[in-house]
Amino acid sequence: MLRRVALVEQWRAILDGLPEDWQAARLRLTLPDRVRAERAAAMLGPTNAGLYANFVTFQITRRGGGTSPELARRLLARIDTERINGRLKLVGADHAEAAQAAAGRRLELAQQWELLVSELPEDWSDLYAEIEFASSDYLDPGALLMAPVNPARVPDRLAFRFRVARVFGYGASPEMTHRCFERLDADSIRGTVRVLWGLSDTRPVYTQGPVWYAGGRAV
């Protein structure tokens, strides 16, 4: 029988294997089932983790803003205390020089969307995503340009949330979503795109797709 390897130990092994000048690391935590994945995603909330079926993805940064290696260790230790078994994998890492270059040329919204989609599991089917604008001046024109994805305003934040469906069901198509981001880029509207939740290989029967709840209401 294989020994259960604590997530903290897996993180230390990944950390030891990173190059000396690493700046950011993208990680994927695979859990045995959806229930434990949801619990792990909730405990990793401070990292702005994304949930896809039984995968949880998050990013660690070495310096500056974001989730530090020490914070990641503490959060993973909390998951270990609940004896949630999982497999932690390094998805990608950025060297300091590359990270600095990227910071100097902030990615456009369409590029951010392309990067997020490229890191999803191949069988993803439904997403709940968010765009947070860099200025309140972008809210009204942003709502107009993103109308095809049916954006919903996030209270007390400069952000909208929306659903994306890859094959069928409720939500904009990935292509339409990309087109909306291109329209925002063309108007020099800046912000940050995030995937909040995701599902893989859903098969709705006589429905418009899965139902998610946020703040006690369906979204």
Q: Residues 87, 13: contact at Cβ < 8 Å?
A: no
Q: Residue 38 corresponds to which tokens in the numbers above?
A: 């949801």
Mean local confidence (pLDDT), 150-172 = 89
Provide the domain limits for residue 115.
107-218
State pLDDT tens for residues 126-155: 899 999 999 999 999 999 999 999 999 998
Query: Final residue of a domain: which of 81, 103, 125?
Result: 103
Residues 210 and 114 in one domain: yes
Q: Are residues 111 and 214 in the same domain?
A: yes
User: Do residue 37 and residue 23 come from a single domain?
Assistant: yes
Asked whether residue 100 carries a pLDDT value surpassing 80, the answer given is no
User: Model confidence at 106, in pLDDT bands (50, 70, 90)?
Assistant: low
Q: Are both 132 and 214 inside the same structural domain? A: yes
Tokens 């020490």 identify what position?
Answer: 70
Quick check: 12 pLDDT over 60? Answer: yes
Boundary residue ending a domain (61, 82, 103): 103
CB 179 within 8 A of CB 145: no
Instruction: Indicate the residue among 103, 120, 152 that finishes a domain.
Output: 103
| b/e per residue 27-38 (b: at least 16 CB within 10 A) | bbbebeeeebbe
Is pLDDT above 50 for 101?
no
Residue at 196 is within a domain = yes
pTM of the full structure: 0.54
DSSP letter at 162 equals E
More confident of the two residues 115 and 29: 29
Q: Do residues 27 and 57 touch, judged by C-beta distance below 8 A?
A: yes
Confidence of residue 20 (pLDDT cuts 50, 70, 90): confident
Least confident range of 25-34, 87-96, 160-169, 205-214: 205-214
Mean pLDDT over each residue of the chain, to the nearest integer: 83
- Return the CATH number at 57: 3.30.70
Query: What total of structural domains would you count in the chain?
Result: 2
